[in-house]
Structure 1
């Protein structure tokens, strides 16, 4: 089983023909489990260690814009010291990707109108995934790239769509057996399977459906890239080891019954997850203040990994 481990940007770049010089941390999970918040806390975690971080969210609408009060778009905006945030959508990344292959760069806007863009995506759906990964694995072609960015934390697609993203390079490399797209797809596939370049963080909740999906995803992800994801169980209540039952006439009966149910569910969920490997517990933070929430989660992430640089 491969485990992700730190590697210097210089050594990474030399192994991939100078195309890469940063670490990539993908954060995924079933919708609603809090993966975007965990991704932001992960960015804080790396920034605290002295890294220059880009937090990149995938999708047509920004989660971080409203959450943090920032004008998040294609170009990175500063959030905190050493952290920038950008949003990568399919249309803009596809335009960048295809323009790289067009012999006359000025043709891009004229050729790639809305109708043509939709036709391209329909004819070759993996193109959008390759374009998104291209921003990560061949950064020098893209406007976000700055040489001092050494960690990119990706608030990735939810589980099913994320697996389609990971499978796209291998599929293209098997289809196009020569030429630039074959070359670039092959490099992407190798980088996604390199634990010194990529790390995968899988977020779930202590609930039946999210845990089931997380267990399935962990197996699929390792089968695809050969790297075991780090598992995070989010929004856990800090409960006593055993909660005694309350008499049914006790005013606290309903509350105690609910806490006992949650206790059993958390224990069974953790047992299922721990069968796959170590699981980091993330607490339910009840204070409704964004900065406090993210700092608390970053503290827990640091503590769970020993705050190593």
Structure 2
């Protein structure tokens, strides 16, 4: 089973890349589904075919879908929403405002994430290609299982115990609607789905991220930041796709400066992202719409490469022995030491990178050790752990 996450700055051609990759995989004999986690949903426009929430065959061996957020909302959030509406009604909130407040921002993307688990579990597909949203939305989306898991592991059991103790008293005193077991069960189901998604996405044997860029300075700069942030949360980037490169056969002198600029950015991308493979596709003479046009892009893009393969054989988080010490390495390409803060809280290592923060659960072998140093060098954070007994000597 393979999951391919295709992301990039808005407008760089990630939907085209995702659709073209899916068609190439199908031609190679894989059973493929491409799904959209982008709220803008442009897969149907790319294939030039109507798409719905159920995978629809767009070519032999290749299906595509655009999720119905309302349908997924009713499936995962209905019980929680109904309880919230009761609470808001008790508090005197108008019904229209209560409906809006009962839908948390980002739920659409959250439910799109759970769809990945459903597609993987169905057994109908060998490869799931995910057309992700623009990079900022993608980082927020892919960090959700990690963040929500942290809260659910710590707060959910405690809040349920507290609810059982105080609910009878509060319901008699103030008639406040209290969450019943159905509400907690709905929350548990959603958490279980997210936990299953997290296991899939965090496994580099299964999931790879592919960054799509244009040969433009600001786009490449954002891709660098995205690469670092994806690595922080344990996602392996195994390819960079440079899209819309000016073809060599364009002879008009007006384009000479553009061609030189594209060549300069291509060289920079290859140097900066090495050893990650850098693939490229030329600027098309017309809109890339429909299966045949997408197949042409896929043939060019993946010429000489297997899109289903792991193109980089490296885990973003690694453990290694250093004499009596153990070193934990977390890939953070392009990060500077001043960008990173590291601390420890119990059995977790807290890593802060700009506005992003990850609570990394330490394996059992490190929980009995103390942190002795933390350095950022050669594109990785390296944290050294020593035995407590030795630390005391």
TM over 0.5: yes
Unpaired runs of 5+ residues, structure 2, are 87-94, 158-187, 310-393
Q: Provide the alpha-carbon RMSD of the alignment.
A: 3.1
Identify the residue that residue 112 of structure 2 maps to in structure 1. 132
Describe the SS at the equivalent of 2:302: helix
How many residue pairs match? The answer is: 262
The change in CA–CA distance for 1:57 and 1:138 in structure 2 (over 3 A counts) is closer
- 2:284 is paired with a residue of what secondary structure? coil
* Cα distance in structure 2, aligned partners of 1:188 and 1:307: 22
Q: Give the structure 1 partner of residue 323 of structure 2.
A: none
Equivalences for 1:214-293 in 2 at 5 Å? 214-239=223-248, 255-256=252-253, 258-274=254-270, 275-277=272-274, 278-288=277-287, 290=289, 291-293=291-293
Change (3 A) 1:289 1:189: closer
Equivalent positions of 1:40-119 (< 5 A) are 40-60=19-39, 62-98=41-77, 102=79, 118-119=100-101
Of 160, 163, 167, which aligns to 2:143?
167
Q: What is the CA-CA distance between 1:288 and the residue it aligns to?
A: 4.7
* Partner residue, 2:299: 299
State the SS of the aligned residue for 1:298. Answer: helix
Q: Distance in 1 between matches of 2:55 and 2:235?
A: 31
Shift of 1:176: 1.2
Rounded to whole Å, the distance in 1 between the matches of 2:138 and 2:119 is 20
Decide whether aligned partners of structure 1 residues 308 and 194 sit closer, same or farther in structure 2, where only a CA change above 3 A counts. closer
Q: Secondary structure at the match of 1:194?
A: coil
Judging changes above 3 Å, is the alpha-carbon distance between structure 1 residues 306 and 155 closer, same or farther for their aligned structure 2 residues? closer
TM-score relative to the length of structure 2: 0.59
User: Normalized per residue, which structure has more strand?
Assistant: 2
> Which structure 1 segments of 5+ residues have no match?
1-21, 244-251
In structure 2, which of residues 88, 99, 102 is the aligned counterpart of residue 120 of structure 1?
Answer: 102
Which structure has the bigger radius of gyration? Answer: 2
- Residue 149 of structure 1: aligned partner: 125
Partner of 1:54, secondary structure, is strand
Change (3 A) 1:182 1:42: same
Is the 1:169–1:188 Cα contact (8 Å) retained in structure 2?
yes
Contact 1:62 1:87 in 2 (8 A): yes
Q: 2:16 is matched with which residue: 32, 37, 44? A: 37
Partner SS state of residue 51, structure 2: coil
**283-292 or 67-76: bigger deviation:** 283-292
Q: Return structure 1 stretches of 4+ with deviation > 6 angstroms.
A: none
- 1:178-231 deviations in whole A, cap 9, x for unaligned? 563554444333322211121111111011221111121112111222412410
In structure 2, what is the Cα distance between the partners aligned to 1:82 and 1:215? 34
TM-score, normalization by structure 1? 0.74
- Is the Cα–Cα contact under 8 Å of residues 5 and 208 in structure 2 kept in the other structure? yes
